Chain A
Amino acid sequence: MATRIECIFFSEFHPTLGPKITYQVPEEYISRELFDTVQVYIITKPELQNKLITVTAMDKKLIGCPVCIEHKKYSRNALLFNLGFVCDAHTNTCALEPIVKKLSGYLTTLELESGFISNEESKQKLLPIMSTLLEDLNATGACTLPIDDSNTIHLKLIQLRRDPPIVQEYDVPVFAECKDLYIKSQWDLTTQQILPYIDGFRHIQKISAEADVELNLVRIAVQNLLYYGVVTLVSIFQYSNVYCTTPKVQSLIDDKSIQEECLGYVTKQGQKRASLRDVFQLYCGLSPGTTMRDLCSRYSQQLQRVDERRLIQFGLMKCLIRRLQKYPVKVARDERSRLPRLYTGSHSYDEICCKTGISYQELDERLENDPNIVICWK
Chain B
Amino acid sequence: MLNPLVGSPDDSRSMYRQSQNNFYKSGDKTSPISVILVSSGSRGNKLLFRYPFQRVDECPSSLSAKQRNPYALNVTGDVLEDQDGDSRFSDIILATILATKSDMCGKKFELKIDNVRFVGHPTLLQHSPIIQVSKTDPSPKREMPTMILFNVVFALRANADPSVICCMHNLSRRIAIALQHEERRCQYLTREAKLMLAVQDEITTMTETDGGPQSPFRQILPKCKLARDLKEAYDSLCTTGVMRLHINSWLEVSFCLPHKIHRIGGNYIPPEALERSLKAIRPYHALLLLESDKALLSELPLDCSPAMVRLIKTCSAVKNLQQLAQDADLALLQIFQIAAHLVYWGKAIIIYPLCENNVYMLSPHANISLYSPLAEQFAQQFSGHDLPSMLAKFSLPVSLAEFRNPLEAPAQEAQLIQMVVWMLQHRLLIQLHTYVCLLVPPSEDEPGLRDEELPLAARVGGRSLSTPSALSFGSPTSSDDMTLTSPSIENSSAELVPGGDSPLNKRMTETQLTSLSEHERQVILNIPAAQNPEDLRMFARLLHYFRGHHHLEEIMYNENMRRSQLKTLFDKFRSVLVVTNHEDPIISIFQSPMD
A residues adjacent to B (C-beta < 8 A)? 33, 36-37, 40-41, 45, 47-57, 244-247, 249-250, 253-254, 256, 272-273, 275-277, 280-281, 283-284, 287-289, 322, 327, 329-331, 340, 344-346, 374-378
Contacts and interface: CB of A to CB of B under 8 A. Distances in A.
A374 B392 contact: yes
B397 interface: yes
B396 A377 contact: yes
Contacts of A40: 96-97
B119 to A, nearest CB: 10
Interface in B513-554: 547-549
B73 to A, nearest CB: 13
A344 B579 contact: no
Taking each of B108, B454, B580, which has the highest tally of chain A beta carbons within 10 Å of its own beta carbon?
A: B580
Interface stretch (B183-191, B320-328, B345-353, B434-442): B434-442
Interface string B439-454: 1111000010011001
B548 A250 contact: yes
B87 to A, nearest CB: 13
A346 B368 CA distance: 7
A277 B441 contact: yes
Contacts of B395: 288, 375-378
A261 to B, nearest CB: 14
A205 B152 CA distance: 53
A253 to B, nearest CB: 5
Contacts of A37: 100-101, 103-104
B76 A49 contact: yes
Contacts of A250: 435, 437, 457, 547-549
Nearest to B580: A284
B9 interface: no
Nearest to A272: B447
Interface majority SS (helix, strand, loop, mixed), chain A:
mixed
A56 B370 CA distance: 50
B280 to A, nearest CB: 13
A188 B370 CA distance: 42
A369 to B, nearest CB: 15
A89 B136 CA distance: 56
Given A250-B457, A329-B388, 12 more contacts: A36-B101, A37-B100, A54-B113, A56-B109, A245-B580, A253-B457, A253-B548, A256-B454, A275-B450, A276-B439, A280-B437, A287-B580
A288 B578 contact: no
Interface string B551-595: 000000000000000000000000000111111110010000000
30 contacts: A47-B89, A51-B76, A54-B111, A54-B113, A55-B110, A56-B111, A245-B581, A246-B583, A247-B583, A247-B584, A247-B585, A250-B435, A250-B548, A253-B548, A254-B457, A256-B454, A275-B441, A277-B441, A280-B437, A280-B439, A284-B580, A287-B580, A329-B368, A340-B370, A344-B370, A345-B369, A374-B389, A376-B391, A376-B395, A378-B368
B114 interface: yes
Contacts of B114: 51-52
B164 interface: no
B31 interface: no
B455 interface: yes
Interface in B355-408: 361-364, 366, 368-372, 386, 388-389, 391-392, 395-397
Interface in B417-464: 435, 437, 439-442, 447, 450-451, 454-455, 457-458
Contacts of B441: 275, 277
A378 B548 contact: no
A55 B100 CA distance: 11
Contacts of B108: 56
Given A55-B111, A56-B111, A331-B370, A374 B578 contact: no
Contacts of B581: 244-245, 287
B388 A374 contact: yes
A50 B114 CA distance: 9
Contacts of B77: 50
A345 B392 CA distance: 10
Given A33-B103, A55-B111, A247 B370 contact: no
B388 to A, nearest CB: 4
B93 interface: yes
Counting from the closest, the 6 A-B pairs by CB-CB distance are A284-B580, A247-B585, A377-B395, A374-B392, A54-B112, A250-B548
Contact of B396 (A49, A52, A288, A374): A288
A378 to B, nearest CB: 4
B273 to A, nearest CB: 13
B371 A344 contact: yes
B454 A378 contact: no
Contacts of A253: 437, 439, 455, 457-458, 547-548
Among A45, A281, A374, the most chain B Cβ lie within 10 Å of the Cβ of A374
B62 to A, nearest CB: 12
Nearest to A34: B103
B90 interface: yes
A246 B433 CA distance: 11
Contacts of A246: 582-583
A49 B389 CA distance: 62
Nearest to B583: A247
B578 A277 contact: yes
A312 to B, nearest CB: 16
Contacts of B450: 275
B582 A247 contact: yes
A50 B75 CA distance: 10
Given A37-B104, A378-B363, A280 B582 contact: no
B516 to A, nearest CB: 15
Contacts of B372: 345
A289 B432 CA distance: 14
Contacts of B447: 272
A346 B366 CA distance: 10
A368 to B, nearest CB: 12
A57 B96 CA distance: 16
Nearest to B61: A47
Contacts of A256: 454, 458
A284 B578 contact: yes
Contacts of A375: 392, 395
Contact of A327 (B76, B100, B368, B437): B368
A346 B113 contact: no
B158 to A, nearest CB: 9
A183 to B, nearest CB: 30
A160 to B, nearest CB: 9
Nearest to A321: B582
B397 A288 contact: yes
Contact of A378 (B366, B549, B582): B366
B6 to A, nearest CB: 33
Contacts of B579: 284
Contact of B439 (A277, A330, A377): A277
Given A250-B437, A277-B439, A48 B97 contact: yes
A199 B372 CA distance: 37
Contacts of B60: 47
Given A33-B103, A253-B455, A345-B370, A376 B392 contact: yes
Contacts of B580: 245, 249, 283-284, 287
Contacts of A45: 93, 96
Nearest to A50: B76
Contacts of B397: 287-288
A346 B435 CA distance: 32
A250 B581 CA distance: 11
A276 B439 CA distance: 9
Contact of A344 (B369, B440, B454): B369
A51 B391 CA distance: 53
A287 B583 CA distance: 12
Highest count of chain A CB atoms <10 Å: which of B101, B114, B397, B435? B114
Contacts of A344: 369-371
Contacts of B112: 52-55
B110 A56 contact: yes
Nearest to B548: A250
